[in-house]
Amino acid sequence: MRALSLLLVTSLLAVPSTVDNPGRGSLHTLVTGDRVRVGGPDRLVIKPAPGREKVRFLAHRLGDGLQVIPVDQLPQIHAGKVSRRQFEVVPATTKPVAARQIHALTLTHLGRDGEPAQIYDTLVINRDSYETTFLHGPPETGTLYLPAGRYVAYTVLFSGNYPERPEMTMLAIPSITLDGDQSFSFDGRASNHMSVSVPHPTAKQLLAEAGWEIRVDPQIGLGGSMLSDTYDGFYIGHAGPDADNPEFVAKATSQWAEMGPDGTAVNSPVAFMLSWYQEGRLFTGLKKDVKPTDLARIRAKHHSHLANGLGLRALWSEVPGKAQWGIAAELYFYLPFSRVEYVNNDSGRVRWHIEATDDAAVSFLRSPGNYQPGRTYSQTWNNAVFGPGTDGTRNGDAISVYVPIYTDASGHPGYGVAHTSRTALFRNSTKVFEAPDFNPQTIDVPPDDAQYRLEVAAQRGDPWPYDLSSDVKVAWTFRSRHTDSAKLLPLSVVRFTPALRENNTAPAGCSFTLPISVQRQAGGSIRKPTVFVSYNDGLTWQQVSLRDAGSGWATTLHHPMGNGWVSLRAKHTDSSGNIVEQTIIHAYRISS
């Protein structure tokens, strides 16, 4: 499962309306009207309410929970008129710890001018229980009485135009071992300003993030971030003893796009996605004058389902095993569309995740990649044929599945909406589970060896006008028994990768080559599949002959005249007897 990411949509995007995609998570509306979309523990989107586009935010990662707080709400929170829990978009749980002796932790806050700071928001997090204690001013000094243990503490000092558009200074003490009464100072004079420039004069910054993270495990993290659309007024620095914590990782993210004549980033042809990390302590300010030689170039081409349909794309970074909490700006465009994105890799540390949502409300994912400076990478997204991918495991006596039913021809796993859908599991021909969706499922099963059949189906109709992959069915037959650890199920799929126009259409009335391959996640060796084609929406089928082609096969289809669709059906049996059967109605269009 991916780590938590936060996607910030700013006013610069002038976001057009689009079909909501339940696959992208649940939607929450804060008391301020700002909308927050939570995609489980792995991603989050902030959409400021109309008229609130310049509001700055704080994001706090508290174990398995997340708070997203608009800065202009802090006066109400500090006055006790509004609860922080109203901004808890992922509820946090704490771990029980044995009773321990209580000690006093005294924290003093000084501004960048050395004077007592009266407006601040401070968090002290227990490293073992994830219990979080909050402190705010005035006065500049406060004392907390906490159990002995390991802690991390950080604050954000506010000055200038508070709370509407304040200057913000983040200071962090990476490690506190509270084994007696202790005192520390958050001194703003230890911070410095943040600034980033990119080698593109018409690009404008969309996202500025400064923060830190401690990774506990793939699902649990501690961290905090300041978020805005510019680094103007952002300061950052170390506090506490002059000692590093190797688990503590500082991070800065800066994302930019070329603006259009309308002053928005919609259809921006050029974007810059940049992140920097530092282990041990927060940066002491940050100044980056990015050069072209620092960057890799990604040429991303997106096909379309609908004429002038709307898509979006977001990139967020991680350092594997160290920092997986990602921050990104969503960029919208009308399909088909191509853009050049420039990314850094921070001396080889950074991996970039990519997510794209197409005009048919399907979200595609790309595994994190390390892009080398000076190189160009070409990617194609949202290209038919859209069909099932593989994602299934057995762990002990439980089978878990989450089938990306709309995986595109480039292999990006695709999750989206459907009019009707179904997941069912049979054991020795007896149904043991059924659900009216294709959401993630974990199904308890007996430990002994048995034959299983897993069926997943999705049909699209009203109210969505999506005619590609309008009816997708896949069924796997395999044997499984108790495992001592998580093991991949012996699932495979047949992939079709035709060379289509950008509107996912092939020419009618001619011969056409269809490449075919088999993708497996486990099981026996691959054998030649059986493939059928239909030109009448599956009423009748014709088996096609396959010839060897590279690592797979190819067949020559004979498209009829006129506008219509090609539907495909396939069956594959591997050398161990594991079977996949799949049908895709309206796999791609044909037109004169």
Q: Which domains does the chain have, with CATH numbers?
A: 5-380 (no CATH), 392-591 (2.60.40.10)
Which pLDDT does position 416 carry in this prediction? 87
Residue 179 token pair: 């084994």
Which pLDDT does position 12 carry in this prediction? 32
Which pLDDT does position 18 carry in this prediction? 41
What is the rounded distance in angstroms from the CA atom of residue 137 to the CA atom of residue 560?
75
Question: At 292, is the secondary structure helix, strand, or coil?
Answer: helix
Backbone phi, then psi, for 463, in 5-degree steps? -95, 10
Q: Which helix (H) or strand (E) holds 75?
A: helix 74-78
Query: What are the mean pLDDT values of the chain's consecutive 10-residue runs (592 residues total)?
Result: 41 39 66 78 72 93 90 96 92 84 97 97 95 95 96 98 96 97 98 98 94 86 93 97 94 96 93 97 98 98 91 92 86 95 96 88 89 98 96 96 96 91 97 94 97 96 82 98 97 98 97 97 96 98 97 97 97 98 98 91
Which pLDDT does position 304 carry in this prediction? 94
Which pLDDT does position 10 carry in this prediction? 41
Which pLDDT does position 44 carry in this prediction? 65
CA–CA distances in Å: residue 533 to residues 499, 538, 566, 585: 17, 8, 7, 10
Residue 478 token pair: 């395999």
Question: At 155, is the secondary structure helix, strand, or coil?
Answer: strand
Q: Where are the beta strands (DSSP E) in 259-382?
A: 270-280, 286-289, 296-302, 310-318, 326-329, 331-334, 337-343, 351-357, 362-369, 376-381
Which pLDDT does position 217 carry in this prediction? 79
Q: In this structure, which amino acid lies at residue 331?
A: L
**What is the DSSP secondary-structure string of 483-536?**
-SSEEE---EEEEE-----TTSEEESSSEEEEEEEEEESSSS-----EEEEESS
